[in-house]
Amino acid sequence: MRELKINGIYKHFKGDYYFVENVAIHSETREKYVVYRGLYGDSELYIRPYEMFLSKVDKEKYPEVTQEYRFELQDIKSVKK
């Protein structure tokens, strides 16, 4: 399985960008969740099951999408030297 980068910026297959803040553990089920913030609008905070965050795009449901994964890590370079 792919690894998640905390403090990484990810692009959702529908186009928006998100900042991964951390991973949380459900207190009763012990399921892992990715905690991430939208980099647009009100910068809302979201959670999504870990496996779903790292999963592939459903090409049957979204055949026009070229991105392989639901969220893909972006390599954003600083403009500072």
- Extents of the domains making up the chain: 9-73
Tens place of pLDDT for every residue, the chain, 81 residues? 689 999 999 999 999 999 999 999 999 999 999 999 999 999 999 999 999 999 999 999 999 999 999 999 999 888 887
The CATH homologous superfamily for domain 9-73 is DUF1653-like domain (2.30.30.320)
User: Structure pTM?
Assistant: 0.90
Check residue 55 and report its DSSP letter. S
Long-range contact list for 25-29, CB < 8 A, 24+ apart? none
Other C-beta atoms closer than 10 Å to the C-beta of 7 total 8
CA distance 10 to 70: 9
Write out the DSSP string of 8-37.
Answer: -EEEETTS-EEEEEEEEE-TTT--EEEEEE
